C-alpha cells in the first residue's frame, strides 16, 4: 500500500469534481475547489473520519469493497479505478468485480435525474445504482447478494418478484428475462457469471429451463409497461434505455406523459418515499 500515492490521488480526484458532477446541489460559494471530504464520504457510504485518515496518509488499508465505493463516488474511469486498487495494495479488479463498476458516462446522466425513477443495470439484471425515485418504486435492492443480485434469478426463484407486474404480463416478462440472459451468455461465454446463472436457474426453475431451450435472444426493455406499487397501485410508464458502447450496462429511465393520472402517481410516489414490494 502506497499511502502517499493513495492520499494524493484521492485528494486530487476529489478536488477535480464539482458538486453537480456527483449529483449534489452547488450550494453556497466554496472556499476550496471540488467536493468536501464529508461529501465524498457520504457518496461512498463511509465515515468522514475514515476518509479523512486516508487523505492524511494514516488510514488502514481499504478493502476491495471500500475501494469500489470510492471509485464510484469519485466517478473514476476504468483505468483510474485500477490505479486506485493498485496504490491501495490490491490487484486490479478481476473481470467479475470490474463488471459492476458503473460506467461514469451513465452515472453522470443518472446524477441529473431527480424527478423520475432511474437505475443502472448490468447485462445480468443486477442493479448497480438507483436514484431515490427508483428506491420508492422498486424498493432498495442493495441488500440482495450472490445470484439474487440479478433480477433474472429472482424472477424465477422468488414469487414476490412477480408481484410488481400484472398477471397477464408475467409470461412476456419471463420470456424477456430469458432472452436478455441469452444475449449476455452469448457475449460472455459459458464459463462466465452468465453461464453460472444459467446453470443455477436450469436446476432451480422448470419454467426457465423450458424457455432457455427456445434460444430467443434480445437485449432490450419494453417501451411501455405497467408496474404495481403496493400503496399507489398500477402505474403505466414509458421505459427508455441508454446502453454503454459494449452493451454491458444500461441506464433505465421510467416516465409518464405530463398531466396524466400516471404522472400524478409518480408525483405522489416522490412524496411517499421508499416503499417495498410485497413485504420486502
Residue 145 lies in a domain: yes
Place 157 in a pLDDT band, splitting at 50, 70 and 90. Answer: very high
Whether 51 shows a pLDDT value over 70: the answer reads yes
Shared domain check, 94 and 108:
no
pLDDT score for 119: 93
pLDDT score for 28: 62
Shared domain check, 88 and 116:
no
CATH of the domain at 201: 3.30.450.180
Shared domain check, 136 and 89:
no
Q: What is the pLDDT of residues 185-206, one digit of tens each?
A: 887 888 888 999 999 999 999 9
Shared domain check, 236 and 146:
yes
Last residue of a domain, one of 55, 70, 98: 98
Shared domain check, 135 and 23:
no
pLDDT score for 191: 84
Whether 30 shows a pLDDT value over 70: the answer reads no
CATH of the domain at 44: 1.10.260.40
Shared domain check, 114 and 92:
no
Mean pLDDT of 43-69: 88
Residue 152 lies in a domain: yes
Last residue of a domain, one of 61, 79, 98: 98
Mean pLDDT of 36-45: 88
Mean pLDDT of 224-230: 90
Residue 192 lies in a domain: yes
Q: Which helix (H) or strand (E) holds 9?
A: helix 3-16
Distance (Å) of CA 167 to CA 153, 172, 252: 19, 10, 23
pLDDT score for 277: 38
Give the 3-state DSSP-derived string for 73-130, with helices as H, strands as E and coil as C: HCCCCHHHHHHHHHHCCCCCCCHHHHCCCCCHHHHHHHHCCCCCCEEEEECCCEEEEE
Mean pLDDT of 58-74: 87
* Percentage of residues of the chain with pLDDT beyond 90: 35
Shared domain check, 211 and 138:
yes
Give the domain range for residue 73.
3-98
Residue 280 lies in a domain: no
Confidence (pTM) = 0.68
Shared domain check, 192 and 55:
no
Whether 218 shows a pLDDT value over 80: the answer reads no
Instruction: Tell me the average pLDDT of the chain.
Output: 85
Mean pLDDT of 57-68: 87
Specify the range with the lowest mean pLDDT, choosing from 6-10, 53-57, 195-199, 242-246.
Answer: 242-246
Total number of domains in the chain: 2
Residue 75 lies in a domain: yes
Amino acid at each position: 500500500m502506497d499511502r502517499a500515492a493513495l492520499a494524493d490521488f484521492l485528494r486530487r480526484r476529489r478536488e477535480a469534481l464539482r458538486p453537480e458532477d456527483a449529483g449534489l446541489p452547488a450550494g453556497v460559494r466554496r472556499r476550496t475547489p471540488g467536493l468536501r471530504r464529508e461529501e465524498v464520504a457520504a457518496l461512498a457510504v463511509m465515515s468522514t473520519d475514515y476518509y479523512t485518515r486516508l487523505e492524511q496518509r494514516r488510514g488502514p488499508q481499504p478493502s476491495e469493497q471500500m475501494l469500489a465505493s470510492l471509485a464510484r463516488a469519485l466517478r473514476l474511469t476504468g483505468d483510474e479505478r485500477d490505479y486506485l486498487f493498485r496504490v491501495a495494495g490490491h490487484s486490479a479488479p478481476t473481470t467479475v468485480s470490474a463488471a459492476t463498476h458503473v460506467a461514469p458516462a451513465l452515472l453522470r446522466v443518472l446524477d441529473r435525474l431527480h424527478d423520475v425513477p432511474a437505475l443502472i443495470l448490468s447485462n445480468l439484471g443486477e442493479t448497480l445504482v438507483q436514484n431515490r425515485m427508483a428506491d420508492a418504486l422498486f424498493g432498495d435492492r442493495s441488500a440482495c447478494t450472490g445470484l439474487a443480485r440479478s433480477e433474472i434469478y429472482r424472477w424465477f426463484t422468488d414469487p414476490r418478484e412477480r408481484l410488481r407486474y400484472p398477471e397477464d404480463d408475467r409470461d412476456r416478462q419471463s420470456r424477456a428475462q430469458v432472452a436478455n440472459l441469452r444475449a449476455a451468455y452469448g457475449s460472455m461465454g459459458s464459463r462466465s457469471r452468465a453461464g453460472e446463472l444459467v446453470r443455477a436457474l436450469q436446476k432451480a426453475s422448470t419454467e426457465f429451463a423450458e424457455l432457455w431451450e427456445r434460444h430467443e435472444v434480445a437485449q432490450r426493455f419494453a417501451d411501455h409497461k405497467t408496474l404495481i406499487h403496493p400503496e399507489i397501485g398500477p402505474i403505466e410508464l414509458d421505459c427508455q434505455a441508454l446502453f454503454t458502447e459494449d452493451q454491458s450496462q444500461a441506464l433505465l429511465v421510467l416516465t409518464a406523459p405530463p398531466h396524466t393520472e400516471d404522472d400524478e402517481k409518480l408525483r405522489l410516489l416522490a412524496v411517499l418515499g421508499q416503499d417495498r414490494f410485497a413485504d420486502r
